[in-house]
Structure 1
């Protein structure tokens, strides 16, 4: 068993009112704590999805697990080939190397706390996604940064069928 030893010695406090918010009108991301702030322990964001909104398309992380905690509403999450519907108070953790995606459940909105551990420096990734959503950068630029952000996109027939 290996244990990640984060390297930071002061508590991390992020005031919600001070946190940067990025994203598109239907999917907002509040940037809470990046890996550099937690000595590599974790990265965390709060995601708000409008009714029926997509969150992230299918992808995997090779080095990190991803935790989804539903603060409000309901969300569909792809985990491997399974589609799980999670509601307020539910928790789902996807292991490293497992395909996953998320979106608001049909007819619902959702608010999620997402934690990636060990942390990956990802705030610039979310800023990049925002620029892509507003047409300021082409979508294919994501291919160039997959390794940098440990986010590898893939196809999932199960997800495509569930989101039709």
Structure 2
């Protein structure tokens, strides 16, 4: 269970909600915007070998930071491809089309921070349902504004993505 102590949010690893993904990965929900006064949202994403993390999209209002804790990630950044290994950092400005996933044959573990924060825990739960075949991707389309995740369907990043 997370707690707030004198303006600090404390989230012990054992208390973070985990949303399992079928490729052996998971979303670990650390801090939603409502937990931080809107300052940021944070989650940890683990990806199985070669698994995609997100289809091409952009955020209109927020900057997104990715810190690779372990493994090797591939990022699509407005038409360019970048490979980032453990210890590497990517910061994506609002409006920049991007996508990401574990490199082929590699697993990955990354910390993702979105600022200013937007309550997105329900978005990650929804993605888990989609990946488990309990919801359809199209059910996310009406929620793009709410979660500040604007999909770019005309861009082919990989054969499949988590969104």
The question of a shared fold, defined as TM-score above 0.5 by the shorter chain, is answered with yes
Counterparts of 2:68 and 2:128, CA distance in 1? 22
User: Paired residue for 2:15?
Assistant: 18
CA distance in 2, matches of 1:121, 1:18: 18
Q: How far off its partner does 1:23 sit? A: 3.4
SS in 2 for 1:121: coil
| Aligned partners of 1:35 and 1:41 also within 8 Å | yes
For residues 138-157 of structure 1, the aligned pairs below 5 Å read 138-154=136-152, 155-157=154-156
TM-score by length of 1: 0.89
Per-residue CA deviation, residues 12-36 of structure 1 (Å, 9 max, x unaligned), is 1101100000031223100000000
> 2: CA distance between counterparts of 1:131 and 1:106?
24
Gaps of 5+ in 1: 1-8
Two-structure CA RMSD over aligned residues (Å): 1.5
| Distance in 2 (alpha carbons) for counterparts of 1:123 and 1:77 | 22
Tell me the equivalent position of 2:111: 113
* Structure 1 ranges of 4+ moved more than 6 A: none
Cα pair 2:22 2:132 within 8 Å, conserved: no
- Judging changes above 3 Å, is the alpha-carbon distance between structure 1 residues 53 and 160 closer, same or farther for their aligned structure 2 residues? closer
Q: Which residue of 1 aligns with 2:124?
A: 126
Matching residue of 1:72? 70
Distance 1:34 1:23 in 2: 18
Q: What's the offset of the Cα at 1:84?
A: 0.7
Residues matched between the structures, number: 153
What's the CA shift string for 1:35-65, capped at 9, x where partnerless? Answer: 0000111000000001111111111000001
Q: Residue by residue, what CA displacement relative to the aligned partner does 1:49-108 show, whole Å, maximum 9, x if unpaired?
A: 011111111110000011010000000011111111000000000100111111001111
